[in-house]
Amino acid sequence: MTGLLKARYRSPRLNNKDDALDELFFILLSQMTTGPSYERVYNRLKAAVPNWSQLLKMDLTVLKALIGDAGLANQKAPRMVAIANQLARDFGEVTLEPLRRMTDRDAETFLTTLPASD
């Protein structure tokens, strides 16, 4: 039965990423767009930016061009850079690893402080 459900409805993981920071940017790209679109754009972006700290130095125009066909690039690109900057300020690098040492409540509180717009 599980095989039939998976064949009909796909994986319940919805192509989620194992790394929390990858997942954060994947979700951000998925807003207001279709699955095939944001998956394609995420893969292109990840190939161009294998380390998220590269967002700190990336020209915003280049980032917008990379993610443009996922829609809302004028909102998503500055938000991605703002998130990278906040993580670098708060943790000394672009990472979510310190959340592993936090309580669930503290991690949730931190995540809700991340920039919601440019």
- Residues 74-116: pLDDT tens digits? 999 999 999 999 999 999 999 999 999 999 999 999 999 999 8
Q: Please tell me whether residue 37 adopts helix, strand or coil conformation.
A: helix
Per-residue pLDDT tens for 7-29? Answer: 776 666 667 778 999 999 999 99
- Arch. (CATH architecture) of 20-111: Orthogonal Bundle (1.10)
CB hemisphere CA count around 75 (13 angstroms): 10
**In which residue are the tokens 């994986």 written?**
11
Domain spans of the chain, in order of start = 20-111
Confidence of residue 118 (pLDDT cuts 50, 70, 90): very low
CA 51 to chain centre: 12
Average pLDDT, the chain: 90
pTM of the complete model: 0.84
Per-residue pLDDT tens for 34-47? Answer: 777 889 999 999 99
Q: Residue 112: what are its φ and ψ, rounded to 5°?
A: -75, -10
**Helices and strands per DSSP (H, E), number in the chain:** 6, 0
